């Protein structure tokens, strides 16, 4: 399976699956069956790598053909098909978008053939972290008050309420991380049933019940399609001192709503401030595994290292949630093999089929990913990107496949259906219960997503140093400094525990996360 291929970077030979060498200083061949190699740094025309002379300049992270690949033949990387040759490709040629053709994946899916049960760490030996224990047994990593909106029409009210509670105002409440508005662009002009409506309701429920939100105020206009009453009835929710609702029309206008909202938050604040951190089991950490493959190094450095960290978390009773269905497209067969049973594996296949239909109806292409930045970083097709992205999921069994924003019912390694668009995807992962976010990036990112802290992991050392104020971990040292995936994976794992315990991530230090609440809008706007 692919995660094993990634761990080949440790020069571990697993059942003869891999045959990787670091002796060639110009490029890396990831598997003995590959017909391309990835350039460590720019290869000049005429330079020799893997006994092949470069016919043209091969940019850093890009692929060089190691043998003749005739038109229509498979281009192989990670011992997997990443595309077909669109024209004859000579040994030494640059292999990229001008000579590579994408085709829809077509797999004979295997279910549960590569299930490897993890060696769980005994409860008494599991690490602890300092979290906020909630009345329902959940444990938060942050202590926020959230102001949610049922519809875009109440966004201004929510933002104006939150704006009052700045650092000055909150200085007398040291245990409160902030008052945050979560606004969005829908809630009306939509069908009151179906995929879009159900997705929005799952998102709102997930945030209302999120362990990082100690208090929630939900504000509507009053006449929207997404009625607050519908939500309360659908999920059997009742108001209490820490969960309040109101509508602008009922209160009597915008100004009165803002004034009333401020009063209600002021009542919550002293009570939320009384909640203190306590030592809790790491099993209460749910980690979002985010971003597919920003560049060619993602599948070699950051994603396998994050996969190793995810495995450690699962072995300690925690949860790791992979998402971005379009960015595992072409690698989903590797996940079905790890499905705990056929039912779970089939759920993933069903989401892939849904996406193929969804994209066709909207006249798009799943190969729209990689993005221009991804392509500049060496990625050519979605198949190549997906194979690297899947490495974030580690090696433990796939225990469940969740709909977008669906609250997780089980622990361990899970997959949640979502777009590849990061803010929309992370919004869904947080709604499932993720209380920490891990975000791998090769091109650089300025991302955060309240109420869950975001840790950013750089795929390459150059970018890490260039954007050091934004990056938390340098996975690029797997290549630049010969660090192992295990070492970097353990570094990520340890940082997750520290951040879960209150240490601020780089994105938090810069105040990111207020504008990244982006529920996925599915279906027609009417």
Q: Is residue 36 part of a domain?
A: yes
Q: Which pLDDT value is given to residue 295?
A: 84
Q: Average per-residue pLDDT in the chain?
A: 92
pLDDT digits (tens, 9 = 90+) for 447-503: 999 999 999 999 999 999 999 999 999 999 999 998 999 999 999 999 999 999 999
Strand, helix or coil at 362?
coil
pLDDT band, very low/low/confident/very high, at 18 (cuts 50, 70, 90): very low
Q: Report yes or no on 322 lying in a domain.
A: yes
- Whether residue 465 sits in one domain with residue 321: yes
Do the domain assignments include residue 314? yes
Phi, psi of 484 (to 5 degrees): -95, 160
Residues 148-161 have pLDDT tens digits of: 999 999 999 999 99
Could you tell me if residue 362 is left (phi over 0), alpha (psi between -120 and 50 degrees) or otherwise beta? alpha
Q: 254-273 and 155-164 helices cross at what angle (nearest 10)? A: 50
Do residues 318 and 415 share a domain? yes
Q: Please answer whether residues 304 and 485 qualify as being in contact, where contact means their C-beta atoms are separated by less than 8 angstroms.
A: yes
Q: How many domains does the chain have?
A: 3
The SS3 call for residue 144 is strand
- Tokens in use for 501? 């315990």
**What is the reported pLDDT for 382?**
85
Q: Are residues 400 and 504 in the same domain?
A: yes
Last residue of a domain, one of 231, 252, 274: 274
- pLDDT average, residue stretch 432-442: 97
Residue 514 lies in a domain: no
108 pLDDT band, cuts 50/70/90, is confident
Question: pLDDT at residue 3 above 70?
Answer: no
Do both 202 and 336 map to the same domain?
Answer: no
**Alpha-carbon gap, residue 35 to 154, rounded angstroms:** 56
**Domain assignment of residue 365, yes or no:** yes
Boundary of a domain, candidates 86, 101, 116: 101
Q: What is the pLDDT of residue 292?
A: 65
Under the banding of pLDDT at 50, 70 and 90, the label for residue 269 is very high
Range of the domain at 245: 144-274
Percent of the chain with pLDDT over 90: 84
On whether both 265 and 295 belong to a single domain, the answer is no
**For residue 78, what is the domain's CATH number?**
2.30.130.110
pLDDT computed for residue 344 by the predictor: 98
Classified as helix, coil or strand, 232 is: helix
Mean pLDDT of 80-87: 92
Please check whether residues 215 and 302 belong to one and the same domain. Answer: no
Residue 454 near residue 505, CB atoms below 8 Å: yes
Phi, psi (rounded to 5 degrees) for 396: -80, 165
| pLDDT score for 4 | 40
* Domain-terminating residue out of 101, 126, 158: 101
Q: What pLDDT does residue 368 have?
A: 66
Sorting pLDDT into bands at 50, 70 and 90, what band is 524?
Answer: confident
* pLDDT (tens digit per residue) in 186-242: 999 999 999 999 999 999 999 999 999 999 999 999 999 999 999 999 999 999 999
Q: Is the pLDDT of residue 98 over 90?
A: yes
- Which pLDDT band holds residue 334 (cuts at 50, 70, 90)? very high
Query: To the nearest 10°, the Cα dihedral for 206, 207, 212, 216?
Result: -130
Phi, psi of 132 (to 5 degrees): -100, 110
In a domain, residue 123? The reply is no
pTM: 0.93
- Cis ω on the peptide bond leading into residue 370 (within 30° of 0)? yes
Q: Is the pLDDT of residue 96 over 80?
A: yes
pLDDT tens-digit series, residues 109-129:
999 999 999 999 999 999 999
> In residues, how long is the chain?
526
pLDDT interval class at 106 (50, 70, 90): low
Helix (H, G, I), strand (E, B) or coil at 303: helix
The H-assigned helical ranges of 283-403 are: 302-315, 332-336, 342-361, 372-376, 382-389
Query: First vs last Cα of the chain: how many Å apart?
Result: 45
């Amino acid at each position: 399976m692919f995660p094993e291929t990634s761990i080949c970077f440790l020069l571990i030979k697993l059942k003869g699956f891999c045959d990787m060498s670091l002796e060639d200083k110009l490029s890396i061949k990831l598997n003995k069956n590959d017909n391309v190699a990835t350039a460590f740094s720019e290869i000049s025309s005429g330079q020799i790598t893997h006994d092949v002379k470069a016919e043209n300049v091969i940019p850093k992270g890009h692929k060089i053909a190691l043998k003749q690949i005739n038109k229509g033949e498979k281009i192989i990387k990670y011992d997997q098909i990443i595309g077909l040759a669109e024209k004859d490709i000579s040994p030494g040629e640059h292999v990229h978008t001008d000579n590579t053709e994408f085709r829809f994946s077509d797999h004979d899916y295997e279910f549960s053939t590569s299930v490897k049960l993890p060696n769980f760490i005994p409860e008494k030996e599991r690490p602890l972290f300092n979290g906020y224990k909630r009345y329902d047994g959940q444990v938060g990593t942050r202590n926020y008050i959230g102001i949610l909106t049922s519809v875009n029409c109440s966004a201004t009210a929510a933002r104006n309420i939150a704006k009052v509670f700045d650092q000055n105002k909150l200085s007398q409440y040291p245990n409160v991380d902030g008052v945050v508005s979560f606004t969005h662009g829908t809630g009306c002009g939509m069908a009151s049933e179906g995929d879009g409506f159900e997705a929005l309701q799952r998102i709102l429920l997930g945030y209302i019940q999120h362990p990082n939100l100690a208090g929630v105020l939900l504000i509507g206009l009053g006449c929207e399609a997404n009625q607050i009453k519908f939500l309360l009835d659908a999920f059997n929710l009742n108001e209490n001192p820490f969960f309040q609702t109101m509508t602008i029309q009922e209160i009597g206008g915008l100004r009165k709503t803002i004034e009333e909202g401020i009063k209600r938050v002021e009542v919550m604040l002293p009570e939320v401030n009384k909640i203190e951190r306590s030592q809790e089991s790491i099993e209460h950490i749910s980690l979002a595994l985010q971003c597919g493959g920003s560049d060619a190094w993602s599948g070699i450095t950051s994603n396998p290292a994050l996969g190793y960290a995810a495995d450690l978390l699962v072995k300690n009773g925690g949860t790791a949630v992979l998402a971005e269905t379009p960015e595992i497209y072409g690698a989903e067969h590797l996940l079905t093999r790890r499905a705990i049973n056929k039912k779970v594996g089939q759920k993933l296949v069903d989401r892939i089929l849904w996406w193929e239909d969804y994209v066709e109806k909207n006249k798009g292409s799943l190969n729209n990913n990689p993005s221009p930045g991804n392509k500049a970083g060496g990625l050519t097709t979605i198949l190549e990107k997906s194979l690297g992205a899947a490495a974030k999921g580690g090696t433990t069994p796939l225990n469940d496949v969740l709909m977008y924003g669906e609250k997780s019912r089980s622990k361990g390694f899970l997959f949640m259906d979502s777009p590849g668009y990061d803010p929309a995807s992370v919004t869904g992962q947080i709604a499932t219960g993720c209380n920490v976010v891990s975000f791998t990036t090769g091109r650089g990112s300025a991302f955060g997503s309240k109420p869950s802290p975001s840790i950013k992991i750089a795929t390459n050392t150059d970018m890490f140093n260039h954007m050091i104020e934004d990056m938390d971990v340098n996975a690029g040292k797997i290549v630049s400094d010969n660090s192992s995936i295990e070492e970097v994976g353990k570094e990520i794992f340890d940082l997750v525990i520290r951040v879960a315990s209150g240490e601020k991530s780089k994105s938090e230090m810069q105040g990111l996360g207020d504008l990244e609440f982006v529920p996925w809008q599915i279906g027609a706007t009417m």
